[in-house]
Amino acid sequence: MAIVLAIETSCDETAVAVVNDRVCCSSVVASQIPIHQKYGGIVPEVASRCHVETLNDAIAQALAEANIDWEAIDGVAATCAPGLVGALLVGFTAAKSLALVRNKPFLGVHHLEGHIYASYLSELDLEPPFICLLVSGGHTSLIYVKDCGYYETLGETRDDAAGEAFDKVARLLQLGYPGGPIIDKLAKEGNPLAFPLPEGKVSLAGGGYHPYDSSFSGLKTAVLRLVQKLQQEHSQLPVNDLAASFQETVAKALTKRAIACALNYGVNTIAVGGGVAANSGLRSHLQAAAKERHLRVIFPPLKYCTDNAAMIGCAAADHLNRGHTSPLTLGVQSRLSLTKVMQLYQHESAG
Ligand code: KG4
Ligand code: ZN
């Protein structure tokens, strides 16, 4: 059993949580969305400054809500990669300092491993192996989860992440930021079959298509061309139909690839993570396809799908239980492959 105080500041949420293995004792998330909204996207320098301003209060609040004092805490963790370097540094430096001052083990956590662990917070019986479909503003990955710290990325996007595609299409339809929730809402009023759009297959050098990789930049361009054409023909854009058709294309593409991974790797569970897990089109397509194939599909509660520190704490607790801790010389990295997670830790036995 390990109780961990975890900090997540890799992007635009200042988040702090206290987690006891798979049980979330408190989870504070201070979103910066309203601040970035006026710029139409995240401004890295603004994000870092907001983290500095918000973090101390968030730590105090997380400790108070968990009703826990420092003696009971077994370790301090923070996201160390991937993410915006300036933003990561704020939470990471705070966590290191707290670990040093309170004489607790320190753990750097890979942000995507955190997203994988969001499923453990809601499904207490979940055990690897399973497939994680991670779809957020920065990532679109299909991950084969073998064990704590051991992952294989089976599929990725070759260009835009799924959430980024939602945000960009929303911007070109002048719907505001973040685009995913707005497109999802409008799509409910539209016809998903109104406009056929390309799903973004990735060609292989030897012919055929990559079974798990995706590409959303062509889809975004196809929506742009369609919008330009429709603007010439009509005085008013059929925004609901455009939103529904775009969402349908993304949802079907992700579902097809996730199901293929599960079947080809012989696992019976698909766990979804990241902000796009909120998408109603993805939920209904994936749930229906999984049911047909007798697969279990897990959509953790939204509070654990979008960026939060509970998922970071849950991953850190599992590592800590296995004797994994990070050296205080560890740094932050803007990019880091999931296959390198174990490089973040030294084993207890190694001294
Ligand atoms: O996981 P997340 O909170 O942050 C990271 O990117 O790590 O994901 C944010 C992304 C944004 O691109 C947002 O537009 C998208 O998730 N999103 C959605 C929905 N809600 C949030 N995309 C589609 N449908 C939604 N309902
Ligand atoms: Zn994330």
Q: What ranges do the domains of the chain cover?
A: 3-118+307-350, 128-299
| For residue 350, pLDDT beyond 70 | no
Condensed to tens digits (0 to 9), the pLDDT of residues 45-66 reads 888 999 999 999 999 999 999 9
DSSP state of 10: S
| For residue 90, pLDDT beyond 50 | yes
- Cα first-last separation, the chain: 21
Q: Whose CA is nearest to atom 22 of ligand 1?
A: 180
Determine the Cα–Cα distance for residues 302 and 316; give it in Å rounded to an integer. Answer: 20
How far apart are the CA of 305 and the centre of ligand 1, in A?
9
Q: Which of 148, 71, 67, 75 is nearest to 110 (CA)?
A: 148
Q: Which long-range contacts (CB under 8 A, 24 or more apart) does 300-303 make?
A: 300/118, 300/119, 300/121, 300/122, 300/123, 300/271, 300/272, 300/273, 301/122, 302/277, 302/278, 303/27, 303/29
Q: What's residue 32's pLDDT?
A: 75
Helical segments of the chain, H only: 33-37, 44-66, 85-102, 111-122, 162-172, 179-187, 217-233, 239-264, 280-292, 302-305, 310-321
| For residue 308, pLDDT beyond 80 | yes
Condensed to tens digits (0 to 9), the pLDDT of residues 121-143 reads 999 999 999 999 999 988 999 99
Determine the Cα–Cα distance for residues 168 and 299; give it in Å rounded to an integer. Answer: 24
Average pLDDT over residues 76-96: 97
| For residue 37, pLDDT beyond 50 | yes
Residue of 113, 276, 284, 334 to mutate, ligand 1, most atoms within 8 A of C-beta? 276
Please name the fold of domain 128-299.
Nucleotidyltransferase; domain 5 (3.30.420)
Establish whether residue 160 lines the binding site of ligand 1, counting it when its CB lies within 6 angstroms of any ligand atom: no
Average pLDDT over residues 72-89: 97
Residue of 116, 133, 306 to mutate, ligand 1, most atoms within 8 A of C-beta? 306
Top-level class of domain 3-118+307-350: alpha beta
Burial of 128 (0-12, 13-18, 19+ CB in 10 A): middle
Residues with CB under 5 A from ligand 2 (ion): 136, 307
- Window from 229-233, 250-254, 318-322 with minimum mean pLDDT: 229-233
How far apart are the CA of 274 and the centre of ligand 1, in A?
7
Q: How many CB atoms lie within 10 A of CB 67?
A: 10
Establish whether residue 166 lines the binding site of ligand 1, counting it when its CB lies within 6 angstroms of any ligand atom: yes
Average pLDDT over residues 273-278: 94
Model confidence at 349, pLDDT cuts 50, 70, 90, reads: low
Looking at the DSSP bridge assignments, the partners of residue 17 are: 6, 27
How far apart are the CA of 240 and the centre of ligand 2, in A?
28
How far apart are the CA of 112 and the centre of ligand 2, in A?
7
Condensed to tens digits (0 to 9), the pLDDT of residues 320-329 reads 999 999 999 9
Residue of 136, 177, 185, 286 to mutate, ligand 1, most atoms within 8 A of C-beta? 136
Say whether 128-299 and 3-118+307-350 share the same fold. yes
Establish whether residue 184 lines the binding site of ligand 1, counting it when its CB lies within 6 angstroms of any ligand atom: yes
Establish whether residue 32 lines the binding site of ligand 1, counting it when its CB lies within 6 angstroms of any ligand atom: no
